[in-house]
A and B are shown apart, each in its own frame.
Chain A
Amino acid sequence: MAIISYREALRAAMRDELKRDENVVLMGEEVAQFNGAYKVTEGLLKEFGPKRVVDTPISEAGFIGLGIGASMLGIRPVMELMFWSFSYVAFDQIVNNAGNIRYMSGGLINCPIVIRGPANGGTNVGATHSHTPEAILASHPGIKVVCPATPYDAKGLLKAAIRDNDPVYVMENTILYNDKGEVPDEDYIVPIGVADIKREGTDLTIVAHGRAVITSLKAAEILEKEHGVSVEVVDLRSIRPLDEETILASVRKTHRALLVEENKPFCGVDAQVAYLIQARAFDELDAPIGRVSSIDAPQIYSKKLEDLQLPYPARVVEAALKVLA
């Protein structure tokens, strides 16, 4: 077991899978010679050569579509989007082609593609580069979406994604790239669709994904130290498939739920989670479900205000105390 960063964990996953399966190809803008815009793929061109690690032009609809076509013939492309925000110019490929082809062919064609890259705000780059499209994409049957919060999950989920026979979209977070954690050297996967209890507790369930998990864990510390509240933090890890049973089991234990995500509130992931809890654990609830999302506006550029637009520990604590009141 080594202590490595989230970035290194992603790289280790790709290195392992490049070695394991000769059909795995990494592709994207600046992934090869430049060593990755965020250095996630650093050194992989040198190790695996230009057939396996491929620089593309700035042409997302073109190269993502190319990867989808290649995947239909058995290649396993791992496509990097420099930002998931750039997926919007490739939306037809990502949704219509990758997401529908298995269905429209009556199950005759598989599309084992992985698209990965950062999907987060909080980096002071303005609205066009700060989208979090996990809810948008997960709303399309045929697509899988995962959002790792820790180095361990980043490696395990990416490896599972590369081995998966359906399109899997991996949403990372640039603010987490330097976070460190324990990651096994040996082969393992984190199964897609299995949530993880990141902290056990008895008084309140917080459901979160991505960096909101880290924020929620910090809030849970404060709630325990300053308010004597025991908080359980459920990390969804995967948006679709969704681990409904782990969410429900936690709510049945604590009887109170707070949902935290970095998405905007309208039609966010937590809208679905809130529906689930009221539909299947209504009688277990001792209080209305609480929710913390980004403030509902395009992502603001101003750094100081952007930090306040996103969920942060004090805001989560405040919302938790309301649910607990």
Chain B
Amino acid sequence: MAKPAVITHPESLKNPAGPSEYSKHPINSSLTKEAKIALYTKMARIRHFEQRCIRIYQQGKIGGFLHLYVGQEAVAAGTISLLGKHDHIITGYRDHGHGLMVGMGMKECMAELTGKVTGCSKGKGGSMHYFAPDKNYWGGHGIVGGQAPLGTGLAYAVKFKGQKGSCLTYMGDGAVNQGAVHEAYNLAALWDLPVIFVVENNGYSMGTSQERSTAHPGCLAKRAEGYNMAWDVVNGHDVYEVRAKTAEALKRAHEESKPTVLEIFTYRYFGHSMADPDKTYRDKDEIKEYRDKKDPVLLFEKELLAEKVLTPELVESINAAAMEEADAAAAFADESPEPTVGDITKHIYWEEDNRGKNTTSSGTIIFE
């Protein structure tokens, strides 16, 4: 058996269990009891949504790829909980958690997975391509690292318009070796753009560990130094720490219009996608270790029980409600209609969808 891969978390991040040292950080201590419960609820909703997806996938109702966010909930929850009107979000294909965090409904998200016309992209995007521009969520992108220049462009637009905002541009640890990411880093730093590159380091780019994919032996965020950019490493199992360190990066974006690379250490409990049997590149014990000791939802639950914000009864009712919501979404996705053949050629061009308005072209645009 191959040697188990080593996750190169810095020493300081290796033992995050126990009370969070960031609970007293003003960004967290200022949270009301209701806000803390809401944050926990959102994390629980992501967990239960994803777990419900597994069952639907196994029933054969979800085609294509399904990349689950289970284990990584604190990253989307912590970062997105801080965002305001002019803060934008873009990510790669592991995009369900971010979608639910920005306020997309479980129903539209589930129906997209089953390719239904009621899905958030009307059945045209699938799991990897969620979008909710009305909630500042710009996807959901399938090609590793391809979203990095787009996120940099969203930040460019925010700055161009003179808004106090940012773009949180998420990627996995596998993306840091893509050229487009390095080009985005360079432009963001060169032009002082308010972008935060969030590297969600779950240890494996598909089945390849960091030590087998990345020449730099240390943390991936340190590459920011090559571009004269600020960086930090974050324990992604502790939602309080995620919030505290993201808040600093947001301040840098909002007040100085400067970019940051945040590497957030996290872990996924399931394979790269549901097509990955997850048997060749990591030990079951490693997964168990994370599930037992570093689960972000359970750690936050413990934290809030200790703070007497949550009670065991409340925990139960929140989780029961989330499961019920996921069940209802699954039923909705089941019952929803499929898109029609006529829908295949819609939403390709603005012009085609807005015939009769002030279009500047004509001719044949969709060919037989």
* A interface, CB within 8 angstroms of B: 25, 51, 56-57, 59, 61-75, 92-93, 96-97, 101-110, 112, 141-142, 144, 160, 163-166, 189, 191-195, 238, 240-244, 272
Contact = CB atoms under 8 A, between A and B. Distances in A.
A230 B132 CA distance: 57
Contact of B365 (A57, A68, A193): A193
Interface in B129-155: 129, 131-134, 138-143, 146-155
A73 B154 contact: yes
A62 B187 contact: yes
Interface in B349-364: 349-351, 353-354, 360-364
A239 B224 CA distance: 42
Contact of A192 (B124, B125, B167, B360): B360
Interface of B: 88, 90, 119-125, 129, 131-134, 138-143, 146-158, 160-161, 167, 179-180, 183-184, 186-187, 190, 346-351, 353-354, 360-367
Given A57-B187, A241-B361, A69 B348 contact: no
A64 B152 CA distance: 11
Nearest to B350: A165
A104 B152 contact: no
Nearest to A141: B348
Contacts of B190: 57
A272 B151 CA distance: 36
B184 A66 contact: yes
Which of A51, A189, A193, A194 counts the most chain B CB atoms within 10 A? Answer: A193
A72 B150 contact: yes
Contact of A106 (B124, B187, B360): B124
Which of B119, B123, B152, B348 counts the most chain A CB atoms within 10 A? Answer: B348
B187 to A, nearest CB: 5
Given A109-B133, A164-B351, A104 B124 contact: yes
Contacts of A272: 367
A122 to B, nearest CB: 28
Given A59-B183, A107-B347, A109-B133, A72 B363 contact: no
Task: Name the prevailing secondary structure of the B interface residues.
Answer: mixed
A244 B131 contact: no
Contact of B347 (A66, A106, A240, A244): A106
A59 B351 contact: no
Contacts of B367: 242, 272
Contacts of A92: 143, 146, 180
A128 B226 CA distance: 30
B183 A75 contact: no
B269 to A, nearest CB: 27
B64 to A, nearest CB: 13
Nearest to B368: A279
Which of A73, A75, A191, A243 counts the most chain B CB atoms within 10 A? Answer: A73
A104 B349 CA distance: 12
B153 A105 contact: no
A64 B184 CA distance: 10
A62 B227 CA distance: 14
Contacts of B141: 97
Contact of B133 (A70, A105, A192): A105
Nearest to A275: B367
A193 B151 CA distance: 32
A68 B150 contact: yes
B127 to A, nearest CB: 12
Given A102-B347, A103-B124, A106-B125, A65 B360 contact: no
Contacts of A62: 149, 152, 180, 183-184, 186-187
Given A61-B180, A192-B360, A73 B158 contact: yes
B131 A65 contact: no
A41 B90 CA distance: 32
Given A65-B180, A142-B348, A108 B131 contact: yes
A270 to B, nearest CB: 15
A61 B154 contact: no
18 contacts: A25-B160, A57-B187, A61-B183, A65-B149, A65-B183, A70-B154, A70-B160, A73-B158, A102-B348, A104-B140, A105-B124, A106-B125, A108-B121, A144-B365, A164-B360, A166-B351, A193-B363, A244-B363
Which of B120, B142, B161, B361 counts the most chain A CB atoms within 10 A? Answer: B361
Contacts of A144: 349, 361, 365
A243 B363 contact: yes
B150 A59 contact: no
